A and B are shown apart, each in its own frame.
Chain A
Amino acid sequence: MSTATAIENKSPASAGRFEPRIAAFVCNWCTYTGADLAGTSRVQMMPNVRMVRLPCTGRIDTAFIIKAFERGADGVIVSGCHPGDCHYSEGNYHARRRFAMFKELMNFMGIDERRVTFSWVSASEGRKWGDVVDETIERVRALGPFDDYKTLLEETP
Chain B
Amino acid sequence: MSRIGVFVCHCGENIARTVDTAAVAQECGKLPGVIHSVDYKYMCSDPGQLMVKQAIAEHKLTGVVVAACSPHMHEKTFRRATAGAGLNPFLCEMANVREHCSWIHESRTAATEKAIDATRMIVEKVKRNAPLSPIHIPVTRRALVIGGGIAGIQAALDIADGGREVVLVEKEPSIGGHMSQLSETFPTLDCSQCILTPRMVEAFQHPRIKLYTYSEVESVDGYIGNFKVTIRKKARSVDEANCNGCGACQAVCPNKKIPSEFDAGLGKRSAIYVPFPQAVPNIPVIDRERCSYFRAKAKGSTKVVCGKCAEACGKGAVHFDQQDTLVTEDVGAIVVATGYRLYDIGKDQDSELLKGYGEYGYGTVPDVIDGMQFERLASASGPTAGKILRPSDGKEPTSVVFLQCIGSRDPSKGIEYCSKICCMYVAKHTMLYKHKVHHGQATVFYMDIRAAGKGYDEFTRRAIEEDGARYVRGRVSRLYRDGEVIKILGFDTLSGEPIEMDADMVVLATAMRPQAGMAELAQKLSVSYDKHGFINEAHPKLRPVETNTAGVFVAGACQSPRDIPDSVAMASATASKILGLLSNEQLEREPTVARVDESTCSACFHCERVCAYGAVEHKDIRDRSGNLVRVVASVNKGVCQGCGTCLATCPSKSLELDGFTDAQIHAAIMAF
> Contact: A50 with B107, CB < 8 Å?
no
Cβ of B165 < 8 Å from any Cβ of A?
A: no
* Residue on B nearest A66 in the bound complex, by CB: B669
> Contact: A50 with B118, CB < 8 Å?
yes
Nearest-CB distance from B127 to chain A (Å)? 15
A59 to B594, CA, bound (A): 11
Cβ of B591 < 8 Å from any Cβ of A?
A: no
Which of A44, A58, A62, A71 has its CB near the most chain B CB atoms (within 10 A)?
A58
> Contact: B528 with A95, CB < 8 Å?
no
A67 to B612, CA, bound (A): 28
Please encode chain A, from 52 to 64, with 1 for each CB lying within 8 Å of some chain B CB and 0 for all others.
Answer: 1111101111101
> Contact: B103 with A95, CB < 8 Å?
no
Which B residues are CB-close (under 8 A) to A61?
647-648, 662
* Residue on B nearest A60 in the bound complex, by CB: B648
> Contact: B610 with A39, CB < 8 Å?
no
Within 8 A of B (CB), among A44-97: 44-47, 50-56, 58-62, 64, 67-68, 71-73, 81, 84-91, 94-95
Which A residues are CB-close (under 8 A) to B642?
55
> Contact: B106 with A44, CB < 8 Å?
yes
Residue total for B at the interface (Cβ-Cβ under 8 A) = 52
A71 to B548, CA, bound (A): 34
A22 to B648, CA, bound (A): 22
Candidates B110, B121, B549, B647; contact of A52 at CB < 8 Å:
B121
Candidates B110, B526, B644, B662; contact of A55 at CB < 8 Å:
B644
Cβ of B1 < 8 Å from any Cβ of A?
A: no
> Contact: B100 with A88, CB < 8 Å?
no
> Contact: A84 with B104, CB < 8 Å?
no
Which A residues are CB-close (under 8 A) to B96?
36, 51
Nearest-CB distance from A80 to chain B (Å)? 11
> Contact: B666 with A67, CB < 8 Å?
yes
* Residue on A nearest B220 in the bound complex, by CB: A89
Candidates A23, A44, A47, A84; contact of B669 at CB < 8 Å:
A23
Which A residues are CB-close (under 8 A) to B118?
50-51
Which B residues are CB-close (under 8 A) to A72?
672
> Contact: B648 with A95, CB < 8 Å?
yes
> Contact: A36 with B643, CB < 8 Å?
no
Cβ of A35 < 8 Å from any Cβ of B?
A: yes
* Residue on B nearest A123 in the bound complex, by CB: B528
> Contact: A30 with B528, CB < 8 Å?
yes
Nearest-CB distance from B42 to chain A (Å)? 18
Within 8 A of A (CB), among B518-539: 519, 522-523, 526, 528-531, 536
Cβ of A5 < 8 Å from any Cβ of B?
A: no
Nearest-CB distance from B184 to chain A (Å)? 36
Which B residues are CB-close (under 8 A) to A146?
none
A96 to B305, CA, bound (A): 52
Which A residues are CB-close (under 8 A) to B610?
58, 90, 94
Given A50-B114, A51-B100, A52-B121; A94-B669 close (CB under 8 Å)? no
> Contact: A91 with B612, CB < 8 Å?
yes
Nearest-CB distance from A71 to chain B (Å)? 5
* Residue on A nearest B641 in the bound complex, by CB: A88
Cβ of A145 < 8 Å from any Cβ of B?
A: no
Which B residues are CB-close (under 8 A) to A42?
103-104
> Contact: A50 with B672, CB < 8 Å?
yes
> Contact: A39 with B643, CB < 8 Å?
no
Nearest-CB distance from B597 to chain A (Å)? 16
Cβ of B582 < 8 Å from any Cβ of A?
A: no
Candidates A38, A56, A71, A81; contact of B644 at CB < 8 Å:
A56
A67 to B437, CA, bound (A): 76
Given A40-B99, A94-B610, A94-B649; A85-B644 close (CB under 8 Å)? no
Cβ of B117 < 8 Å from any Cβ of A?
A: yes
> Contact: B648 with A39, CB < 8 Å?
no
> Contact: A47 with B660, CB < 8 Å?
no
Candidates B71, B528, B530, B612; contact of A29 at CB < 8 Å:
B528
Cβ of B657 < 8 Å from any Cβ of A?
A: yes
Cβ of A130 < 8 Å from any Cβ of B?
A: yes
A42 to B14, CA, bound (A): 11
> Contact: A47 with B644, CB < 8 Å?
no
Cβ of B111 < 8 Å from any Cβ of A?
A: yes
Cβ of B98 < 8 Å from any Cβ of A?
A: yes
Given A47-B105, A47-B110; A59-B647 close (CB under 8 Å)? yes
Given A39-B104, A42-B103, A71-B669; A85-B523 close (CB under 8 Å)? yes
Cβ of A106 < 8 Å from any Cβ of B?
A: no
> Contact: A47 with B111, CB < 8 Å?
yes
Which B residues are CB-close (under 8 A) to A101?
none
Which B residues are CB-close (under 8 A) to A12?
113
Nearest-CB distance from A148 to chain B (Å)? 18
A84 to B379, CA, bound (A): 41
Cβ of B665 < 8 Å from any Cβ of A?
A: yes
Cβ of B624 < 8 Å from any Cβ of A?
A: no
> Contact: A38 with B121, CB < 8 Å?
no
> Contact: A71 with B672, CB < 8 Å?
yes
A122 to B96, CA, bound (A): 18
> Contact: A39 with B70, CB < 8 Å?
yes
Cβ of A11 < 8 Å from any Cβ of B?
A: no
Which B residues are CB-close (under 8 A) to A90?
610, 612, 645
Cβ of A152 < 8 Å from any Cβ of B?
A: no
Which A residues are CB-close (under 8 A) to B72?
32-33, 36
Besides the contacts A47-B101, A52-B669, what 4 more A-B pairs have beta carbons closer than 8 Å? A51-B100, A59-B644, A90-B612, A122-B528
What residues of chain B have their CB less than 8 Å away from a CB belonging to chain A?
70-72, 96, 98-101, 103-107, 110-111, 113-114, 117-118, 121, 519, 522-523, 526, 528-531, 536, 548-549, 592, 610, 612-613, 641-645, 647-649, 657, 660, 662, 665-666, 668-670, 672
**What are 18 A-B contacts with C-beta separation under 8 Å?**
A21-B672, A40-B99, A47-B107, A55-B644, A59-B645, A59-B657, A61-B647, A71-B672, A84-B523, A87-B528, A87-B548, A88-B526, A88-B613, A89-B526, A90-B612, A91-B644, A95-B648, A124-B536
What residues of chain A have their CB less than 8 Å away from a CB belonging to chain B?
12, 21, 23, 29-30, 32-33, 35-40, 42-47, 50-56, 58-62, 64, 67-68, 71-73, 81, 84-91, 94-95, 98, 122-124, 130
Among all A-B residue pairs, the 8 with the closest Cβ atoms: A39-B99, A58-B645, A59-B644, A88-B643, A56-B643, A47-B110, A39-B103, A90-B612
